[in-house]
Amino acid sequence: MMNDQTLTAEPVATGPGLWSRADITDDAWMVPLGPEAQAEIAAFLRAYRSAPVPLFLLQPRDYDFAHCAAAVARARHILEQGVGFVLLDRIDLDSMTDDEGRAVYWMICNLLSRPVAQSQRGSILHEVRDHGMKAEPGSKVRPNETNQDIAFHNDNAFNPLMPDYVGLLCLQAAREGGLSRVMHLNQVHSLLQAHHPEVLPRLFEPFWLFRNGQHDPDEPPVIAEPIFNHVNGRLCARFGIHMILGGYRHRGEPLDTRGVAALAAIENVFAMPDYQFEFAMHRGQIQFVQNLQIGHSRSDFVDFDEPERKRCLVRSWLRARGRPSYTG
């Protein structure tokens, strides 16, 4: 299953994503939810408590969210024209229930773009927590269901229509670890040009990706797509080493020699610490990444013993394209 985008290995010479860790200042990626935005959130919660409705009926247009909308507009500019990732700081979760926190998060997500389904079953908000499992290629266990280190990837890379943005609300942080890491794919491409130019053509050719069982019964369990592509003049990526290895394992065929070298090179670039940015998320903070251009990962973590304190993030996928269903 291939898309209709032109495959090309044209160089990426300039762009907002050509940053190193040393370039990142707080105002480049952090957006405060100031007193006016907090007052809007408090007013929304008063209305929500007095006249509750199902989460999916909530829309920002029905409430006064002017200052929250301004903060999200700044976040959108950072996602599209800046470093490609942003942290909104923060929702006061201690003044509300977790369900109310999800409602506020839902409103903020809708200010940015349209939330879409994250599974064939139609789930919209997904809790990211350790379920005590281990993710092996082809196992259908998603790495975010474990406490393992998650390698750099784009979310939902094995779906024909990927989300534009990925959001995470931190309900509870881990006792240790669980750090977020991001790296811009423009910079990855530039570093590959500098250090491994011979592999770039293969990265613009298809790889098999395992679809994790998230497809209709009559659809193939794997999808063939390149890691790099150009969409409307912008370099985009769909990468997940776990899903690529799972795709070839499922098909019972080895990855070709050029593909092996290309994956080794891109993993080598993702391991360059000077071009990664790493940060911790704290309770109430919201992270968004530009999913088509940012490779993101997470370090392994150790949880608290108490069930109510175990690490829990609420993930959203946002996409204006296609239908709101999983495949779009």
The token pair at 295 is 């490779």
pLDDT at position 167 over 60: yes
| pLDDT score recorded for residue 217 | 86
| pLDDT score recorded for residue 135 | 56
- Cα torsion 128, 130, 134, 136 to 10°: value is 10
- Whether residue 1 lies inside any domain: the answer is no
Stretch 224-231: mean pLDDT, rounded?
95
8 A C-beta contact, residue 1 and residue 226? no
- Whether residue 6 lies inside any domain: the answer is no
pLDDT tens-digit readout, 29-69: 999 999 999 999 999 999 999 999 999 999 999 999 999 99
- Whether residue 325 lies inside any domain: the answer is no
Task: Provide the mean pLDDT of the chain.
Answer: 91
- State how many domains the chain has: 1
Stretch 151-170: mean pLDDT, rounded?
96
| Nearest alpha carbon to residue 98 among 132, 125, 136, 66 | 125
pLDDT band at 82 (very low <50, low <70, confident <90, very high): very high
Q: Which domain holds residue 27?
A: 21-318
| pLDDT score recorded for residue 6 | 35
- Whether residue 120 lies inside any domain: the answer is yes
- Whether residue 131 lies inside any domain: the answer is yes
pLDDT tens-digit readout, 89-145: 999 999 999 999 999 999 999 999 999 999 988 999 999 988 666 555 555 556 667
Angle at 200 between CA 194 and CA 201, to 5 degrees: 145
| pLDDT score recorded for residue 2 | 35
- Whether residue 14 lies inside any domain: the answer is no
The residues facing 210 across adjacent strands are 222
| pLDDT score recorded for residue 140 | 57
**Can you tell me the distance from the alpha carbon of 248 to that of 154, in angstroms, rounded to the nearest whole number?**
19
- Whether residue 210 lies inside any domain: the answer is yes
Residue 51 sits in a domain whose CATH number is: 3.60.130.10
- Whether residue 3 lies inside any domain: the answer is no
